[in-house]
Structures are given as C-alpha cells and as structure tokens.
C-alpha cells in the first residue's frame, strides 16, 4: 500500500517557487468566495433537515483550506520556501528562503503544515495587527482540522469565530497585497454574503 500512496503522491510533486504564489492566492480565493456565498439550497441532494449541517460544515472546510493556501501564497510571494527538506535531514531552520536552500534537497511531495505557517508568519512579514491575524488563522485551522477529521451532528454556533477570520483576512490582504478586501461569510437567514477585492 505504501507503494501505491507514493505513486499517487508523485503525481503532485513539485518544488514550489516564488512565481507560484499567484496560483496559490487564486485557489485560496476560490475557496473563500465559495464559503462566503454557499447556501443551504446549493445542496439539493441532501435531506432538508441536514442541509444546514452540511452547508456549515462545507463553509468551515473551505475557509480552512483557503487559509492554508493563502499562507503558502504569502510565504512564496516573500521568497520563502514551503517545501520541507527531504527526509527531514537538514540544518535549515524554518522559515528559509530559496537562496538559503541552495544545495539542499527539498521534498517535492511535502510542504510545511498550517500550524507552522501560522506560528512563523510574523518572522517573514510585518503585520499591523498580528494578534488579530493570529486569532483568525488559528480558528480557520481548527475549522479545517475538525471538518477534515470528524463529523458532529451539532455544535455551539458562535458567529464571532467567523468574524475573527474575516478580520484576519482583511488585515492580511491590506498588509501583504495592498488590497482592500470586503468579506462576509453569510450564516444567518437573509445575511448578505460578500467577497470583493479592490486594489
């Protein structure tokens, strides 16, 4: 089975470099935008009594995936590597730039995990609101981990979690990309969703 897993992983192997940041950002934005506008009615093959559960679960998963892809875009845009050294054997300390990795074999099948990307973010960029960004990203990480590993029939809904993620994204877009993001992950009935980016 290990051979099969390695074979499938090899289909996606790539050592990422700075120009790849645009695709990472674009794919992150697809996930965020879908999460913002996703409605119960989008799940027409789901039983009515499960639509809210399914919609909310999908929103959280998309937000978590978007957060990871966006952070990888930021690392790449600022010249940092996201691939791990091969076999974990290297004197390189994360985060490291491509120039520092010269002569080191990087692993095309593995990139750094979301937690590490969050924890080291302030080492690679200056944030005007680091605590706001960290809070939102950590919530997004929990969303991704929860939705990717377990299913619960209900949970205590706290809209402040989504608002914290929105604030973190707005701050990141301003500080890293010089863009004005308007985002609202619609959750309540008649709540208007938003996902727009202005230069």
Question: Cα 22 to chain center, whole Å?
Answer: 14
Average pLDDT over residues 65-90: 94
First-to-last CA distance in the chain? 48
DSSP strands (E only) in the chain: 83-85, 106-111, 180-184, 194-198
Contact (CB, 8 A) for 126 and 175: yes
Residues with Cβ within 8 Å of residue 199, at least 6 apart in sequence: 178, 179, 180
- pLDDT digit string, tens, across residues 7-43: 998 899 999 999 999 999 999 999 999 999 999 999 9
Q: pLDDT, tens digit, for every residue of 97-149?
A: 999 999 899 999 999 999 999 999 999 999 999 999 999 999 999 999 999 99
Q: What is the mean pLDDT of residues 56-66?
A: 97
Q: Lowest-confidence range among 36-45, 54-63, 78-87, 151-160?
A: 151-160
Residue 112 to residue 105: CA distance in whole angstroms: 15
Say how far apart CA 72 and CA 133 lie, in whole Å.
Answer: 15
- Residue-averaged pLDDT of the chain: 94
Lowest-pLDDT choice from 5-9, 77-81, 87-91, 176-180: 87-91
Helices (H) and strands (E) in the chain, counts: 7, 4
Confidence of residue 1 (pLDDT cuts 50, 70, 90): low
pLDDT exceeds cutoff 80 at 49: yes
Domain extent listing, the chain: 16-198
User: Could you tell me the pTM of the whole model?
Assistant: 0.95
């Amino acid at each position: 089975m290990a051979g099969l897993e390695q074979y499938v992983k090899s289909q996606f192997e790539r050592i990422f470099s700075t120009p790849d940041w645009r695709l990472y950002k674009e794919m992150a934005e697809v996930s965020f935008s879908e999460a913002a506008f996703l409605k119960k009615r989008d799940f027409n093959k789901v039983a009515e009594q499960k639509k809210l559960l399914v919609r909310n679960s999908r929103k959280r998963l998309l937000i978590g995936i978007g957060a990871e892809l966006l952070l990888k875009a930021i690392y790449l845009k600022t010249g940092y590597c996201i691939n791990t050294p091969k076999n974990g054997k290297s004197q390189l300390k994360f985060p490291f730039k491509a120039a520092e990795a010269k002569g080191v074999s990087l692993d095309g099948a593995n990139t750094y995990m979301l937690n590490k990307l969050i924890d080291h973010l302030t080492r690679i960029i200056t944030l005007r609101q680091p605590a706001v960004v960290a809070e939102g990203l950590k919530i997004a990480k929990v969303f991704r981990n929860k939705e990717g590993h377990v299913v619960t029939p209900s949970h205590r809904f706290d809209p402040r979690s989504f608002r914290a993620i929105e604030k973190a994204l707005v701050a990141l877009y301003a500080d890293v990309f010089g863009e004005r993001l308007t985002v609202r992950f619609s959750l309540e009935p008649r709540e208007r969703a938003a996902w727009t980016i202005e230069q």
